[in-house]
Amino acid sequence: MRWAALILISQEVRTSGMPKRGYHHGNLRTALIDGCLTLIEKRGPTGFTLSEAAREAGVTPAAVYRHFEGREDLIAAAAQQGYEMFGDLMEHAYNDGQPSALSAFEATGRAYLAFANKYPGYYIAMFESGISINRTPELHSVATHAMGVLEKAATELSQHIPAEKRPPPQMFSAHIWAMSHGVVELFARSNPGTKSPFPPEDLLETGIGIYLRGLGLIEPDS
């Protein structure tokens, strides 16, 4: 799956599954989450107060407490929503890469970059806010589902190796997850002084190939 296709899918996931921004009667919670995401993108996860999130959503500060006890609860709700979208995108990428186990595995890595690029507010809430996925059962459920897609792809990719020589899928899927996160943080977020002459998706794909060949999961280049 190409980078542009992943962006298109992520747009479809966003527009089909989430209400539009702006407060209307009955969707106060959604408006607050959207306001939270806007402030996260502008100031980071600790750069705003609950009252400022209310102002961003166009409601009184008192209205926030009908849904959230504090800023971290609001960010956790944004993270949960993000993981739901992220899991859908990962599933799309995985299924699009079939029937090739390698293509499916690589597609999930590219999906990680596509999501971070398209939805920085969600990405920060999920991975950079310090909010534990164990904060609520609902957050834990959607987060483990999303991360489980990559593990499922890793399991399929290693099936051709004898069991006694097979690296644990949980291990190398976690390594690829970490590699994807590193590429996002260093080269895909426009951080000063970390420009690369290569596109982030090319860096990730090359890194995945080198890593998988080193483990014997794919054939070395001739």
| Each residue's pLDDT expressed in tens, for the chain with a length of 222 residues | 444 455 455 555 554 444 444 444 458 889 999 999 999 999 999 999 999 999 998 888 888 888 898 999 999 999 999 999 999 999 999 898 888 888 888 888 889 999 998 999 999 999 999 999 999 999 999 999 998 998 888 888 888 888 888 888 888 889 888 999 988 888 876 654 466 678 888 888 888 888 888 877 777 654
Give the Cα-Cα-Cα angle 11, 13, 16 (nearest 5 degrees): 100
| Nearest partner of 41 among 24, 26, 21, judged by Cα | 21
What does the block give as tokens for 175? Answer: 């390594």
Taken in order of first residue, the domains within the chain and their CATH numbers are 3-214 (1.10.357.10)
| Nearest partner of 40 among 117, 111, 126, 113, judged by Cα | 126
Q: CA dist 51 to 1, 4, 27, 55, 96, Å?
A: 42, 38, 18, 6, 43
pLDDT tens per residue, range 83-93: 999 999 999 99
Q: CA dist 124 to 52, 183, 208, Å?
A: 18, 15, 23
| Nearest partner of 31 among 63, 6, 71, judged by Cα | 63
